[in-house]
Structure 1
């Protein structure tokens, strides 16, 4: 399948498992990736999703070996984009918090997958880029909007115009990643972050993710949307959390 899912203590990991090709995506991988994330999205027991690649690589993008048959004209390219975006948008739109653990190459479509995650932790030796002008390809408008939403217009355009591969320090400086870790520590650091997320109140984490996405739209909030920020006071998790705090205990959240 080339996509595997593991889980432990509320942290579920989606693993891109095609190391011989640096985890470059085939159509089947896109399909399985979307299906795996959709199942996790529907599961109330999920507290955090980690996305990572197997074999010391995150993802080298889409496998260009299939471009001759899947993107040989405008109609095929439109269908390809719609299908792949439908699959990767399951990650962007999931209600659960997400963490990208980035090792090795994270380029093209692989970088777009990483940018769809809420937290992006990269090894210091990781490499990034959007070198699609080297093969005569444009970024779809929806993909471009996602890129601009994370790093801004100027950085997005610079990366696309240069088409260069850059290192983790530059990626951190320009907002492609949120933090760096030593190569030997990147997995541990990513799961420590995921565990801290998983230990928080899951409803609150989902609400905060929803609210941030809504505010990024720039549209005015309705009264009902403003009031949703106070729905937490009616949850069992709020009662558990405040009681645990008063008793100097670790809270146990139920997600209700």
Structure 2
């Protein structure tokens, strides 16, 4: 496992790799470096024979507050940056889908944007009762690309997916479990414990059978690949549009956006 700057890695148990999104001063918001690392780590996990399962969480009491606003503003200004982040956003999804090792997410506090993509694409997701899950894209003024089109309709159905993605309506962990968006809900102070227990059980199981089962099930996501690719392109088209500036400013000022 290579050295990462924004992700802390270590052994949580025998065969279980712990990955921690580490930017606690900013509620684990994903900046330029962190976004790239979230795309790359799944290839390293896949190649490491010592890793039999992964548990991913955020440092402190947040999973991830989403994309760093300065990175988003740079994407709006610079085409080269936009294309680089576009490739990374694609790789976060496909590299996690194609990673043979089972991944468990421990969702506590806010889970938004690129962080939410990892949280929901994990093979097993464990959310705290008061976790705050929100896609966030349309509030920013761009289409819900990222992971939304590939996974939300499969997890919670099209009606619920449209409601929460079009309106950016947040869900608690309890609500997310009730509609099938996450695998399990746990008391806030037990989220990491429950997620680790699941990861330990996966690591102790028949590795080949588990990995092949994951591969077979993830063919449903691969079938949705064209929808995901289109949604991601539509999202990044929005980074050149007029609504993004107001969306970013509203987030900075902690107020509802006023789109024209």
Shared fold (TM-score, shorter chain, > 0.5): yes
Match of 1:230 in 2: none
Partner SS, residue 77 of structure 2? coil
Unaligned runs of 5+ in 2: 225-260
Matched, 1:34 2:29: no
Q: What secondary structure sits across from 2:218 in the alignment? A: helix
Equivalent residue runs for 1:1-256 within 5 Å: 1-7=5-11, 8-72=13-77, 77-140=82-145, 143-214=148-219
Compared CA separation, residues 135 and 71, structure 1 to 2 (3 A): same
Runs of 4 or more consecutive aligned structure 1 residues displaced over 4 Å after TM superposition: 73-76, 215-219
TM-score (norm 2): 0.77
Q: Contact 1:14–1:36 at 8 Å: present in 2 too?
A: no
Deviation string 1:126-152 (CA, Å, 9 cap, x unpaired) is: 111122222211123764223333333
Measure, in 1, the Cα distance between the counterparts of 2:164 and 2:59: 26
**Residues 1:78 and 1:35: Cα distance change in structure 2 (over 3 Å):** closer
Instruction: Determine the C-alpha separation between the residues in 2 that align with 1:205 and 1:102.
Output: 23
TM-score normalised by structure 1 residue count = 0.78
Asked which structure has the greater CA Rg, the reply is: 1
> Would the aligned equivalents of 2:138 and 2:144 in 1 still touch at CA under 8 Å?
no
Distance change >3 Å, CA 125–CA 149, structure 1 → 2 = same
2:28/2:58 contact within 8 Å kept: yes
Q: How big is the shift at 1:195?
A: 0.8
The answer to which structure, 1 or 2, has the higher relative contact order (CA under 8 A, 6+ apart) is 2
Shift of 1:167: 1.2
How many residues are paired up?
219
Structure 1 unmatched runs, 5+? 220-256
3-state DSSP of counterpart to 2:126: strand
User: Deviations along 1:137-190, whole A, 9 cap, x unmatched?
Assistant: 112376422333333322211111221222112111122211111112111111
Q: 1:34 to 1:124 in 2, by over 3 A?
A: same
The answer to whether the 8 Å contact 2:152/2:181 transfers is no
Mark the CA change 1:74 to 1:134 in structure 2 (over 3 Å): closer, same or farther: farther
